[in-house]
Amino acid sequence: MAASAAGPPSDPGQLAWLDAGLATLTGTGMGERDKLAAVLAVLHFARGAAALAIEAPAGANSPDYPGLLRSVIDANQFPALAGALQAGAFDDGDESHVGEFRSGLDQLLDGVSLRV
């Protein structure tokens, strides 16, 4: 990741994005620190999703990743993970992973909306 993308927003484009995010929350009744926390949470979520997509080992992006997990996960040691695997949570239903991203972002924004 480039240095500008790894740290806090500091270049003009990032500062414009941060300003726009804060402005979006104007009039919500949220305090300035809470608005900043919400905007940075979205930033970190988006950067994290991008990093996972870019830096994941080839096997993690393959259609057989769920099979690989099933072969190495001990259900007694990782019961929640085993349950997610059994329910098909890791089965690739959206090749671009856009659906996963949108679902995660929706969950994050639902939490922010509770604060508003």
CB half-sphere exposure, 72, CA atoms < 13 A: 6
Which pLDDT band, with edges at 50, 70 and 90, does 2 fall under? very low
pLDDT per residue over 11-51, tens digit each? 999 999 999 999 999 999 999 999 999 999 999 999 888 88
pLDDT per residue over 60-102, tens digit each? 555 577 788 889 999 999 999 999 999 988 776 655 577 888 8
3-state secondary structure of 40: helix
Of 106, 17, 111, 2, nearest to 51 (Cα)? 2
B/e letters for 60-88, b = 16+ CB within 10 Å, e = fewer, are eeeeebbeebeeeeeeeeeeeebeebeee
Q: What's the pTM? A: 0.68
CB atoms within 10 A of CB 35: 20
